[in-house]
Amino acid sequence: MKLSGNKPSQTSQTDAPSALATASGERQSTPRRLFLLSATAAAAALAAGLVPRLVRPARADDAKGAGKPDHFEVAYSDAEWRKRLTPAQYEILRQEGTERPYSSPLNDEHRTGTFFCAGCALPVFSSRTKFDSHTGWPSFWTPLDNAVGTHTDTSFGMIRTEVHCRRCGGHLGHVFDDGPKPTGLRYCMNGLAMTFRPQPA
Protein backbone atom coordinates (compact mmCIF):
# COMPACT_ATOMS: atom_id res chain seq x y z
CA MET A 1 0.00 0.00 0.00
CA LYS A 2 1.28 3.46 -0.85
CA LEU A 3 1.26 5.79 2.15
CA SER A 4 0.54 9.49 1.87
CA GLY A 5 0.20 12.40 4.22
CA ASN A 6 -3.60 12.45 3.79
CA LYS A 7 -5.79 10.78 6.34
CA PRO A 8 -7.12 7.54 4.88
CA SER A 9 -10.85 7.59 4.15
CA GLN A 10 -13.09 5.21 6.06
CA THR A 11 -14.57 2.30 4.15
CA SER A 12 -18.29 2.70 3.70
CA GLN A 13 -20.73 -0.12 4.27
CA THR A 14 -21.19 -0.49 0.53
CA ASP A 15 -17.44 -0.89 0.13
CA ALA A 16 -17.18 -3.48 2.92
CA PRO A 17 -17.99 -6.58 0.79
CA SER A 18 -15.37 -5.68 -1.81
CA ALA A 19 -12.83 -4.95 0.94
CA LEU A 20 -13.55 -8.33 2.50
CA ALA A 21 -13.27 -10.01 -0.88
CA THR A 22 -9.89 -8.37 -1.42
CA ALA A 23 -8.69 -9.46 2.01
CA SER A 24 -10.01 -12.95 1.39
CA GLY A 25 -8.30 -13.05 -1.99
CA GLU A 26 -5.00 -12.03 -0.40
CA ARG A 27 -5.38 -14.71 2.22
CA GLN A 28 -6.10 -17.33 -0.45
CA SER A 29 -3.08 -16.30 -2.52
CA THR A 30 -0.64 -16.41 0.42
CA PRO A 31 0.16 -20.15 0.11
CA ARG A 32 0.73 -19.65 -3.63
CA ARG A 33 3.09 -16.73 -2.88
CA LEU A 34 4.97 -18.80 -0.30
CA PHE A 35 5.31 -21.64 -2.80
CA LEU A 36 6.63 -19.29 -5.48
CA LEU A 37 9.06 -17.68 -3.02
CA SER A 38 10.30 -21.12 -1.92
CA ALA A 39 10.77 -22.21 -5.53
CA THR A 40 12.62 -18.98 -6.31
CA ALA A 41 14.89 -19.43 -3.27
CA ALA A 42 15.66 -23.01 -4.30
CA ALA A 43 16.49 -21.90 -7.85
CA ALA A 44 18.74 -19.15 -6.48
CA ALA A 45 20.54 -21.65 -4.23
CA LEU A 46 21.07 -23.94 -7.21
CA ALA A 47 22.44 -21.09 -9.30
CA ALA A 48 24.72 -19.94 -6.48
CA GLY A 49 26.21 -23.39 -6.16
CA LEU A 50 24.74 -24.16 -2.76
CA VAL A 51 23.24 -27.28 -4.34
CA PRO A 52 25.70 -28.25 -7.08
CA ARG A 53 23.55 -31.25 -7.95
CA LEU A 54 20.45 -32.79 -6.44
CA VAL A 55 22.32 -35.67 -4.87
CA ARG A 56 22.78 -37.23 -1.49
CA PRO A 57 25.83 -36.31 0.59
CA ALA A 58 28.58 -38.86 0.95
CA ARG A 59 27.61 -41.94 2.89
CA ALA A 60 27.84 -41.68 6.67
CA ASP A 61 30.49 -44.42 6.82
CA ASP A 62 32.77 -42.23 4.65
CA ALA A 63 32.73 -39.45 7.23
CA LYS A 64 35.35 -39.29 9.95
CA GLY A 65 32.78 -38.11 12.49
CA ALA A 66 29.61 -36.11 12.92
CA GLY A 67 31.21 -33.21 14.79
CA LYS A 68 34.11 -30.92 13.98
CA PRO A 69 36.96 -31.05 16.54
CA ASP A 70 37.35 -28.09 18.89
CA HIS A 71 41.14 -27.98 18.60
CA PHE A 72 43.51 -28.36 15.67
CA GLU A 73 47.26 -28.74 15.37
CA VAL A 74 47.50 -25.33 13.66
CA ALA A 75 45.36 -22.75 15.47
CA TYR A 76 45.32 -18.96 15.45
CA SER A 77 43.08 -16.27 16.85
CA ASP A 78 40.41 -14.88 14.56
CA ALA A 79 42.42 -11.66 14.23
CA GLU A 80 45.52 -13.61 13.21
CA TRP A 81 43.60 -15.62 10.61
CA ARG A 82 42.32 -12.35 9.14
CA LYS A 83 45.92 -11.14 8.82
CA ARG A 84 47.18 -14.35 7.23
CA LEU A 85 44.37 -14.78 4.69
CA THR A 86 42.83 -12.59 2.02
CA PRO A 87 39.23 -11.52 2.77
CA ALA A 88 37.93 -14.07 0.25
CA GLN A 89 40.06 -16.88 1.71
CA TYR A 90 38.95 -15.96 5.23
CA GLU A 91 35.29 -16.08 4.19
CA ILE A 92 35.69 -19.60 2.83
CA LEU A 93 38.25 -21.20 5.14
CA ARG A 94 37.10 -19.69 8.44
CA GLN A 95 33.42 -18.85 7.78
CA GLU A 96 32.54 -21.85 5.58
CA GLY A 97 31.64 -19.70 2.59
CA THR A 98 31.35 -20.87 -1.01
CA GLU A 99 33.01 -19.24 -4.01
CA ARG A 100 31.10 -18.66 -7.24
CA PRO A 101 31.26 -21.64 -9.62
CA TYR A 102 33.84 -21.36 -12.43
CA SER A 103 35.53 -18.45 -10.62
CA SER A 104 38.70 -20.28 -9.54
CA PRO A 105 41.68 -20.83 -11.86
CA LEU A 106 42.25 -24.12 -10.04
CA ASN A 107 39.11 -25.48 -11.67
CA ASP A 108 41.05 -25.45 -14.97
CA GLU A 109 44.39 -26.55 -13.49
CA HIS A 110 45.49 -29.68 -15.36
CA ARG A 111 49.21 -29.85 -14.59
CA THR A 112 50.72 -32.64 -12.51
CA GLY A 113 51.22 -31.51 -8.95
CA THR A 114 49.75 -31.15 -5.48
CA PHE A 115 46.97 -29.03 -3.99
CA PHE A 116 47.62 -27.57 -0.52
CA CYS A 117 45.38 -26.06 2.16
CA ALA A 118 45.63 -22.28 1.76
CA GLY A 119 45.40 -21.91 5.53
CA CYS A 120 48.31 -24.06 6.71
CA ALA A 121 49.97 -25.46 3.55
CA LEU A 122 49.09 -29.09 4.33
CA PRO A 123 49.03 -31.23 1.15
CA VAL A 124 45.38 -32.22 0.71
CA PHE A 125 44.83 -33.48 -2.87
CA SER A 126 46.88 -34.87 -5.74
CA SER A 127 46.31 -33.88 -9.35
CA ARG A 128 46.13 -37.62 -10.10
CA THR A 129 42.69 -37.76 -8.47
CA LYS A 130 41.29 -34.56 -9.99
CA PHE A 131 38.48 -34.81 -12.56
CA ASP A 132 36.10 -32.46 -14.37
CA SER A 133 32.79 -32.67 -12.54
CA HIS A 134 31.18 -29.93 -14.69
CA THR A 135 30.04 -28.21 -11.48
CA GLY A 136 32.45 -25.26 -11.62
CA TRP A 137 34.58 -26.27 -8.63
CA PRO A 138 37.84 -28.27 -8.48
CA SER A 139 36.76 -31.86 -7.85
CA PHE A 140 38.64 -34.97 -6.72
CA TRP A 141 37.67 -38.59 -6.16
CA THR A 142 39.83 -38.95 -3.03
CA PRO A 143 42.04 -36.82 -0.77
CA LEU A 144 45.62 -37.57 0.24
CA ASP A 145 46.07 -39.84 3.26
CA ASN A 146 45.42 -38.18 6.63
CA ALA A 147 44.74 -34.83 4.94
CA VAL A 148 41.09 -34.00 5.61
CA GLY A 149 38.36 -34.48 8.16
CA THR A 150 34.60 -34.38 7.67
CA HIS A 151 31.51 -33.53 9.66
CA THR A 152 27.78 -33.28 9.05
CA ASP A 153 26.66 -29.88 7.75
CA THR A 154 22.96 -29.02 8.14
CA SER A 155 23.10 -25.44 6.84
CA PHE A 156 20.61 -24.16 4.22
CA GLY A 157 18.11 -26.84 5.24
CA MET A 158 20.21 -29.63 3.70
CA ILE A 159 22.26 -32.49 5.11
CA ARG A 160 25.72 -32.52 3.54
CA THR A 161 29.16 -33.80 4.45
CA GLU A 162 31.53 -30.88 4.97
CA VAL A 163 35.25 -31.37 4.29
CA HIS A 164 37.89 -29.48 6.27
CA CYS A 165 41.67 -29.48 6.56
CA ARG A 166 42.75 -32.04 9.12
CA ARG A 167 45.52 -29.78 10.48
CA CYS A 168 43.92 -26.30 10.75
CA GLY A 169 40.20 -27.00 10.40
CA GLY A 170 39.86 -24.73 7.37
CA HIS A 171 36.69 -25.32 5.36
CA LEU A 172 37.54 -26.81 1.95
CA GLY A 173 34.15 -27.82 0.54
CA HIS A 174 31.79 -30.81 0.59
CA VAL A 175 31.88 -34.44 -0.51
CA PHE A 176 29.08 -36.16 -2.44
CA ASP A 177 28.55 -39.75 -3.57
CA ASP A 178 28.16 -39.07 -7.30
CA GLY A 179 31.84 -39.22 -8.25
CA PRO A 180 33.73 -41.57 -10.56
CA LYS A 181 35.34 -44.91 -9.81
CA PRO A 182 37.16 -46.21 -7.88
CA THR A 183 35.62 -44.39 -4.87
CA GLY A 184 32.37 -43.07 -6.33
CA LEU A 185 32.94 -39.86 -4.37
CA ARG A 186 33.15 -36.23 -5.50
CA TYR A 187 35.18 -33.98 -3.23
CA CYS A 188 33.84 -30.62 -4.44
CA MET A 189 36.39 -28.07 -3.21
CA ASN A 190 36.66 -24.29 -3.18
CA GLY A 191 39.65 -23.19 -5.25
CA LEU A 192 40.30 -20.26 -2.89
CA ALA A 193 40.72 -22.71 -0.02
CA MET A 194 43.74 -24.26 -1.77
CA THR A 195 47.01 -23.44 -3.48
CA PHE A 196 48.68 -25.51 -6.19
CA ARG A 197 52.31 -26.43 -6.73
CA PRO A 198 53.21 -28.14 -10.01
CA GLN A 199 55.50 -31.13 -9.89
CA PRO A 200 59.05 -30.25 -11.00
CA ALA A 201 59.87 -31.50 -14.50
Instruction: Give me the DSSP letters along the chain.
Output: ----SSPPPPPPTTTHHHHHHHHHHHHHHHHHHHHHHHHHHHHHHHHHTSSSSS-PBPPGGGSS-SS--S--SS---HHHHHHHS-HHHHHHHTT---PPTT--GGGG--SSEEEEETTT--EEEEGGGEE--SSSS-EES-PPTT-EEEEEE-GGG--EEEEEETTT--EEEEEES---TTT--EEEE-GGGEEEEEPP-
Catalytic residue flag (residue 165):
no
Among 120, 165, 168, 188, the active-site one is: 188
- Give catalytic residues, as residue numbers: 188
